[in-house]
Amino acid sequence: MSTPDELPRLDQAAKHAEMVHRIYQDRRAAPSARELLLAVAYALALAPGERGRVLNTAARVLGREGGRPRFDALVADDAPRYEPPRAAGNWSPGQAPGCEAPRLRPYVYRPRPAPSPMDDEAVVPLRPLPEPIVHVGPDYVPPVDYRNAQGICGADSHHKVLELDPRTGWTTPRWFCKRHVDHAERVAEQVREQNAAAPEPIPNRGGLLPAYFAAPWEDVYRSCAPASWKPPSYGLCADDWPDPGNPPPVSTPRRLRAV
């Protein structure tokens, strides 16, 4: 039977176990964010330390990496912000997604001859390849090339047009090849007015610390995040951001006070 002195500790341990369960069930928490949340929860509920120094205890628990406290790096990664898709960045032509202009003719594979510095008359023609042996059933249907299935060009892209969603402000990159420059210019003109009127993008990264704990998080974020970081107008807490159509976030109605 528990003594009266043990009851508060048992109640605190039960609350900590409930919070740990919510953290692990939160689909928004990447492994790094989950580690940060668990460290703060541990420092708040179980770790021995001075009252009012919960974040210092969490930083000590997380340790250091490369001479810098891991707590600072994890908090900076949790700073509320919008990150556009990787395809919206500055990719080289060989790495960029394929051209999405409409395909006018079905794609047909045509083997290319090997390049040669000699004259065309002196080039030795390539040996014809033997007929392939296909070990499939009589009802086998070869897969349709994605360029034909999606009705897109698919060639290496060199021109990028960014389209901003008028509802969420999120970026959708549109890539086009050299043969479809006119199409890229036409799309850029079509989205020009829409992009100008697009709202501030809804954050899609970070904001989990304020969803679980009450503290002056803006000051904490400013001390750890890059100097260019600014708090979004939608708020710091990920629970308060508008839902852009994704599954609803895990409800976290109770926030423990960290500081």
Amino acid, res. 151: G
User: Which of 58, 82, 49, 6 is CA-nearest to residue 213?
Assistant: 58
Q: What is the model's pLDDT at position 126?
A: 64
* pTM exceeds 0.85: no
Segments of 7-147 assigned E as strands: 64-65, 68-69
Q: What is the model's pLDDT at position 211?
A: 94
Amino acid, res. 33: A
Eight-state DSSP code of residue 159: E
> pLDDT tens, position by position, for the chain (259 residues)?
344 444 455 567 788 888 899 999 999 999 999 999 999 999 888 766 666 688 898 999 999 888 889 999 999 999 999 999 988 888 776 678 889 998 877 777 665 555 555 555 555 666 776 777 666 677 767 677 778 888 889 888 889 999 999 989 999 999 999 999 999 999 999 999 999 999 999 999 999 999 999 999 999 999 999 999 999 999 999 999 998 766 444 444 444 454 4
Please state the separation of Cα 25 from the chain's center in Å. Answer: 19
SS3 at position 83: coil
Burial class (CB in 10 A: 0-12, 13-18, 19+), 48: exposed
Q: What is the model's pLDDT at position 251?
A: 47
Q: What is the model's pLDDT at position 121?
A: 58
SS3 at position 112: coil
Burial class (CB in 10 A: 0-12, 13-18, 19+), 60: middle
* Cβ atoms 154, 98 nearer than 8 A: yes
Eight-state DSSP code of residue 160: E
| 97 contact partners, CB below 8 Å, separation of at least 6 | 87, 91, 157, 173, 175
Q: With the CA atoms of 128, 129, 130 and 135 taken in that order, what torsion angle do they form, in degrees rounded to the nearest 10?
A: -150
Length of the chain as a residue count: 259
